[in-house]
Structure 1
Amino acid sequence: MSRADLRSRPPAATRRPSPLWALGLLHSELVTTVRRWRTLALLGVLAAVPVLVGIAVRIETRDGAPVGGGSGEGPAFITQITNNGLFLVFTALAATLPFFLPMAVGVIAGDAIAGEAGAGTLRYLLVAPAGRTRLLLTKYATVMAFCLLATLVVTVSALIVGALLFPLGELTTISGTRVSFAEGLGRALLIALVVAASLVGVAALGLFVSTLTNSGIAAMATTVGLLITVQIVDQIPQLHVVQPYLFPHYWLSFADLMRDPVYWDDLIRNLGLQALYAGVFGSAAWARFTAKDISA
């Protein structure tokens, strides 16, 4: 290669990265995120929730008494667990979705950019031919992958515990109709996907907060704090006017997938609201990150 050819080649930092390089970056981010002790601890806590619920229900009903003494207390579907262990999946998702799942996602999303800046590795990532937009999209894709992974951990843990402690068989829907175990399992997996999609808004919010600071701890704490605040606002009757626009308002609409026929209205509202939050806070994160002075 001549010197003229060498001079005509753009420097490494300005070359357009190949799609394979981008996939390699995503793979590296996924592996790094999953291998962190913090991530493993969060997944361990999520996996433990169905175990605790299943054991508690088993102990309480060992003498044939109904759950909660027949008062109907507890998370949705909990009274049906003793009849069919598959209901433990729905109960575990209903129990973890209001706080545990979004908190875990908020921690991962809040640390995505701010954690790199705090550790002094963010500018080295940008020296590679990644570009800020590509890096931000990779971080967001990693957080969304964690949303799916965390939801599947709860689902699989609940399915295993439910199969070990309770009988399995045909499923009785909320509408009173009966469906086969295979269809019930399919609905459980569909519900898991809907729950994972319900966390997209939190992921975008956490990523935006992560671009505002160089402290991973501050970003995680702020994201979780905002999550708790919005959850409180969603429970105040006097604020019912704004509640339909809050990202957690339709989270539990996944229960409509257990109806026959399925009620799609709130499910569609939930997915549309998550897409709106993802668009707004994703755009805000991009605007902030592309204009941010990276010094760490």
Structure 2
Amino acid sequence: MTSAGRVDGEAGAPAGRVDGEAGVSRPASTARARVIGGTLSLFASELLTLFRRRRTWALLGALALIPILIAVAIRIAGDAPSGRGPAFLGQITENGLFVGITAMVVATPLFLPLTIGVVAGDTIAGEASHGTLRYLLIAPAGRIRLLAVKYAATAVFCAAATLTVVVVGTLIGWALFPVGPVTLLSGATVSVGEGLVRFLAIAAYVTVSMLGMSAIGLFLSTLTTVPVGAMAATAILAVVAQIMGALPQLEWLHPWLFTEYWLGFADLLRQPPVWDSFADNALLQAGYLVVFGALAVSRMVTKDVLS
């Protein structure tokens, strides 16, 4: 029997919706396409909103200052005494390409977590504090879909942040110092092109390293309507995890800390590159994403957005 909206299987018509008089079939794939299209549209809108904010560009600008300050300081003052300063600092005067990697070593423990914590902590709490969360859900964006889009936008910012450090460092190093084949930690020398590819791989490594912390920030953001609280808590947890990782008495806990592999990207500067740290890091961050993503979903689906 055929109705104005749906055709049952007995009539032998294809599954899906039918507009009564026109008899136009609308299969389930059309609904899926609409959901995907709506999600992509929401994601594009979120990215546009994120990168239109002056705060976002201020954060990226602050990260860009790190390699600039390192390069200018070394250019003016010369090399630091042997064995002092961050890793790769001594190679900068011989090869300016190492500015970006040195800046990454400096930025990863504190500055990257601070900037990414600001974005992650603002994901849901920022919308709630401005009173826009309820309208996003009425749109309808869907609570879980909104969470996924917010997290994906934060992941894009993670990539933008790490690329800012590496790219600006490479450019300022190229401008102020000699540039040539890259000498790896294993003693082998690779071309400038291969060296740049490895530096991009390091940026990808650090981006992955920040994904677990971003999931924590997303969860914390669902707990409050005060974005600053979620931002500060995310950054503080990153510092606490690193302090715990430095204590030998807590060695049993180290493999479970989301900061454990943050500086393991040096393995990508060996010949051949060692990918074990990359894989272990990705697995660890995925675990944090699953756990804190599930907590964020649990909190979000029960959150009262109308109060």
TM-score (norm 2): 0.87
Displacement of 1:20 in angstroms is 2.1
Taking the aligned partners of 1:226 and 1:195, their CA distance within structure 2 comes to 18
Displacement of 1:148 in angstroms is 0.5
Displacement of 1:57 in angstroms is 1.3
Partner of 1:147 in structure 2? 158
Taking the aligned partners of 1:223 and 1:170, their CA distance within structure 2 comes to 39
Query: What is the identity, as a one-letter code, of the residue corresponding to 1:32?
Result: T
Partner of 1:68: helix, strand, or coil?
A: coil
Give the alignment partner of residue 22 of structure 1, picking from 39, 43, 46: 39
Displacement of 1:256 in angstroms is 0.4
Taking the aligned partners of 1:100 and 1:135, their CA distance within structure 2 comes to 27
Partner of 2:49 in structure 1? 32
Partner of 1:261 in structure 2? 272
Query: What is the identity, as a one-letter code, of the residue corresponding to 1:175?
Result: S
Give the alignment partner of residue 116 of structure 1, picking from 124, 127, 138: 127
After superposition, the C-alpha distances for 1:131-186 in whole angstroms (9 at most, x for unaligned) are: 10110100000000000011111111101101001111111000101111111011
Displacement of 1:219 in angstroms is 1.1
Contact 2:208 2:281 in 1 (8 A): no
Give the alignment partner of residue 206 of structure 2, picking from 195, 213, 230: 195
Farther-moved stretch of structure 1 (260-269 vs 248-257): 260-269
What CA RMSD, in Å, does the superposition of the two structures yield over aligned residues?
A: 1.7
Partner of 2:73 in structure 1? 56
Displacement of 1:271 in angstroms is 1.4
Partner of 2:49: helix, strand, or coil?
A: helix
Partner of 2:81 in structure 1? 69
4+ residue segments displaced more than 4 Å? none
Displacement of 1:262 in angstroms is 1.7
Query: What is the identity, as a one-letter code, of the residue corresponding to 1:140?
Result: Y
Residue 133 of structure 1 pairs with residue 153 of structure 2: no
Query: What is the identity, as a one-letter code, of the residue corresponding to 2:283?
Result: G
Partner of 1:69: helix, strand, or coil?
A: coil
Taking the aligned partners of 2:91 and 2:236, their CA distance within structure 1 comes to 34
Partner of 1:18: helix, strand, or coil?
A: helix
Query: What is the identity, as a one-letter code, of the residue corresponding to 1:252?
Result: L
Give the alignment partner of residue 234 of structure 1, picking from 228, 245, 254: 245
Farther-moved stretch of structure 1 (130-139 vs 286-295): 286-295
Query: What is the identity, as a one-letter code, of the residue corresponding to 1:142?
Result: A
Query: What are the residue-to-residue correspondences of 1:75-114 with 2, within 5 Å?
Result: 75-114=86-125
Identity of aligned residues (%): 50
Larger-gyration structure (1/2): 2
Taking the aligned partners of 1:224 and 1:190, their CA distance within structure 2 comes to 25
Return the structure number with greater relative CO, CA threshold 8 A, min gap 6: 1
Query: Gaps (5+ residues) in structure 2?
Result: 6-17, 20-30
